[in-house]
């Protein structure tokens, strides 16, 4: 593949509109609003730009959904975190009680004991209650963000290469024009005898 991203070495064609073969878009209104804003900012110019732009939009959308999942888990499992924190306090007070007894006491006492427990302790217990799920969502979120950043980086790299190639082409065209190979004015060569230094030498040799 050539530097400009084309397998044939020719400049990529402009593609101001989204190619149809990229498939239908999700119907989620949040996705549509986010995509409109990002596409306006990215302003894809070629087919490859569109592919990377859609990858960027979808990755950002997935990251947002994953974070909504995390919030939903935290909200839904907060009571479980409170109960775990109360049970931990009861275990410290009654270390000889069996687990089922501590579980029963925590179920009865958590409404009255919750106010005496630090919020950070409740957050820790909530996280530990659903740690595998939260860790899995966090990994998916990180992967989506890496894909988004890679897509943006590829778009910027191709644009930078295209700008350099255009600037180089303009420089070559200007050089050819100055050398008389283009459409610029042609400079006629001057005879050696007509140059001032040649005329001075002829005078010194007695030819003047």
Distance between CA 152 and CA 37 in Å, rounded? 15
Name beta bridge partners: 148: none
Distance between CA 207 and CA 201 in Å, rounded? 9
Token pair 């255009």 is found at 166
Q: Quick one: pLDDT band at residue 1, thresholds 50, 70, 90? A: very low
Distance between CA 165 and CA 193 in Å, rounded? 44
Compare 39 and 204 and report the one with higher pLDDT: 39
Q: Quick one: pLDDT band at residue 69, thresholds 50, 70, 90? A: very high
Q: Quick one: pLDDT band at residue 195, thresholds 50, 70, 90? A: very low
Q: How far is CA 185 from CA 136, 180, 194, in A?
A: 69, 6, 21
Mean pLDDT of 116-124: 87
pLDDT of residue 180: 64
Domain locations in the chain as residue ranges: 25-77+145-169, 78-129
Element (H, E) at 125: helix 119-129
Q: Quick one: pLDDT band at residue 7, thresholds 50, 70, 90? A: very low
Distance between CA 45 and CA 59 in Å, rounded? 20
What's the chain's average pLDDT? Answer: 80
- Using alpha carbons, select from 12, 24, 14 the residue that is nearest to residue 44: 14
Q: Quick one: pLDDT band at residue 146, thresholds 50, 70, 90? A: very high
> Based on the number of CB atoms within 10 Å of its own CB, is 49 exposed (0-12), middle (13-18) or buried (19 or more)?
buried
């Amino acid at each position: 593949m050539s530097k400009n991203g084309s397998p044939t070495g020719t400049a990529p064609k402009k593609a101001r509109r989204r190619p149809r073969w990229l498939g239908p878009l999700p119907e989620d209104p949040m996705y549509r609003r986010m995509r409109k804003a990002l596409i306006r900012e990215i302003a894809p110019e070629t087919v490859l730009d569109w592919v990377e732009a859609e990858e960027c939009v979808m990755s950002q959308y997935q990251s947002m959904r994953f974070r909504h999942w995390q919030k939903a888990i935290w909200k839904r499992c907060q009571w479980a975190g409170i109960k775990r924190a109360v049970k931990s306090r009861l275990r410290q007070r009654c270390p000889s009680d069996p687990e089922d007894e501590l579980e029963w006491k925590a179920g009865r006492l958590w409404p009255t004991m919750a106010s005496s427990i630090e919020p950070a302790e409740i957050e820790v217990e909530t996280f530990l209650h659903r740690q595998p799920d939260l860790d899995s969502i966090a990994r998916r979120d990180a992967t989506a963000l890496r894909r988004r950043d890679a897509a943006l980086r590829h778009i910027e790299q191709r644009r930078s290469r295209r700008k350099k190639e255009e600037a180089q082409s303009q420089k070559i065209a200007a050089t050819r024009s100055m050398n008389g190979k283009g459409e610029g004015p042609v400079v006629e060569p001057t005879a050696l005898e007509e140059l001032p230094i040649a005329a001075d030498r002829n005078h010194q040799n007695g030819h003047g």
